[in-house]
Every structure is written in C-alpha cells, then in structure tokens.
Amino acid sequence: MKKSTIIGWSFIFVAGLWLATGCATSTLDPVVPQTADSINSRDDIKWGYSLSEGLKIAKENNKPVMVDFFASWCGPCRLMDSRVYSNDAVVRSSWGVIPVKIDADEKPGTLSKYGVTALPTVIFLTSSGQEISRITGLMPAEGMIQRIEQSIAAEAARY
C-alpha cells in the first residue's frame, strides 16, 4: 500500500472517531465577555463589594460573613474564582453566609486592619465582625465547604 493511501485512511479513521466520540460538538456555553451584571445573573456566588454593608446584612440575618481578599493580578485568586467559587456545592453552601469580595488594590487599609499579608485570603467573620477562621492560599472546594459550614455553626452557637 502506498504511503499516501495509508495517511488518507488514517485521517478518515481519526476523523470518524472524533465525530463518534462527540469531540466535534461542544455542550459548553459560548465564551461571553463577563460583566458584573452577567456574573451575578448566573448561579454563582452573589458577592457584595462592601464589608460594612455585608456586616450590616449579616447582623440583620444572623449569618456569618465570608470575606475574600483578592487582586486582579493574582493567579491563585483567579484559580479560586474558576475552580472553587464556581463549584455548585460551594455556591449552595454560600447561601448560608454573606459573601464579600475585597480588592486588595482598592482597599489596602482593610487588608492591614485584618492582617492580610498574602493573597488569596478568605476570612470568616461573625455577624458582629469577630474572626471565626481564615484561609490563606488556595483551598479545594471540599475544604471551602467545610469552612463555610464551620462558620455557619459558629454563628448559630452565638444565639
């Protein structure tokens, strides 16, 4: 058999396999530029961007506050957004807390107030603003769920 015939049949075989396994079709959503409105319209964590407002809402609802300190240039922060905060179980767990994101570049005073020296840092606070626990660095989704549940239990124990 000629080399060109073998290459042709190989191509046809690979193309058929590609189509048969579904690789030619995608069930993923098309890439759409994200804005604050589009991010909060999906089933993602509904982040607030004011710690004082988050604490006020927490006090009214007897819920703890989950404060995510991040920066746009921080690679691990982006990984937390794409791999942890987008996890369905983490999103469901976040319904029991008041989630707040603080941009390190915009609020350096808040970072120093809470002793944040590395990003990402997530601090769980009671509704009265007292620290329950903190995470520095990457945390897998299962660990984040556990920390959220611990903060909910700590808040409930106050009453």
Active site residue 74: yes
Burial 81-119 (b: 16+ CB within 10 A, else e): beebbebeebbebbebbbbbbbbbeebeebbeebebeeb
Going from N- to C-terminal start, the domains of the chain cover 36-157
Query: Two tokens at 95?
Result: 């319904």
CATH fold of 36-157: Glutaredoxin (3.40.30)
Question: Catalytic pick from 57, 71, 74, 138?
Answer: 74
Catalytic residue, candidates 77, 80, 139, 141: 77
Model confidence pLDDT, tens digit, residues 57-91: 999 999 999 999 999 999 999 999 999 999 999 99
- Band the pLDDT of 4: cuts 50, 70, 90: low
